[in-house]
A and B are shown apart, each in its own frame.
Chain A
Amino acid sequence: MTSTFTGPPGGFPAAAVPPAVTAQGVSKVYGSGDAAVHALRGVSVGFARGAFTAIMGPSGSGKSTLMHCLAGLDTVTSGRIVLGDAEITGMGDRQLTMLRRDRVGFVFQAFNLLPTLTAEQNILLPMELSGRKPDRAWFGQVVDVLGLRDRLKHRPSELSGGQQQRVACARAIVARPEVIFADEPTGNLDSRAGAEVLGFLRSSVREMGQTIVMVTHDPVAASYADRVVFLRDGETVSEIVQPTPDAVLDRLKSLGA
């Protein structure tokens, strides 16, 4: 995955640009009374535009919940989440759906693709749902960079795990969303396929200014990011800028994971 992007939205972000997405004092409580579980306790964090940020933490730290809330998949109990110029806390289901459809991209750990659709149909699905016309040149470029050109007519069941995840990445990037949320994108892949996917995600940030927020528990995966935010027991505890796998591992150990 050494090919690079040329063309559309490029350039490195200026430092003064406001964050792509921010959480302000976000809390999330599941259940009530004695059975209440505090998944997030007043998290405040910003994710810079044009940067690749990883969220890490031990199991139960609330990292997935935070991502779900940031992406408008889940509601918060209190606090605010602002994506671009829009406050998404308080939006109804329909508005949230529109937001996800038009401004957010997703890459999940598994079951990323619809089995009834071909790779190409899967990639174009979000645009079709919102009724936008895909930019064929851009589509071709993304497909070529990801090496999916000769796989477009295949159904997911005919693709390897790495290929499926690359299709998912292509789907996220083709719609040019403001933010891509990736939830353990390499969790189900072998290390080589994982490295390809992570390399692609990083180059999309570096070369075309895409914003990516990734949840992971793998220090190697986190080392591809520009910055790592650590969570424990529903609170942000620390962060590393320009991480290396070792630095991440050390920090995790100190958190008791």
Chain B
Amino acid sequence: MSAATHNVAYSALTRRYFEHPVNAGVLHGLGVGRGEAGAVAEGTWVRFDVQVLHGIVTAARFTAFGCPHVIAVASWITEAAAGRPGTPALPEPVPALRLRFELPVEKLGRLLTIEDAWCAAIRAAVTNLGAALD
């Protein structure tokens, strides 16, 4: 076809989180905020639900439409973020994530989409918790 054969190689870590993603789904409850970025029509869309209590990320879930790298990284973030401060920043900076998952540089923009969604979710969580306590 322009029907092409598969020619993208994935690291073992990417394959692991792509084939067995953890924390896929949604969260509800006190201190939960939702953030999303990207668009299905653009090929990458990511949404996070994050719970921040007492300034700490206590739980996170993700929903993603994207390539294996996007799914794997989004899943890993929800796992790695648990117990970390609830500040609008990824558990690991984008350049480090790119190296960890061996993303080709051309896919860097997809990590930025993930970062936007994550930071938006954290901000929403903090805002929602504040509103609930008020």
**Interaction A to B:** no
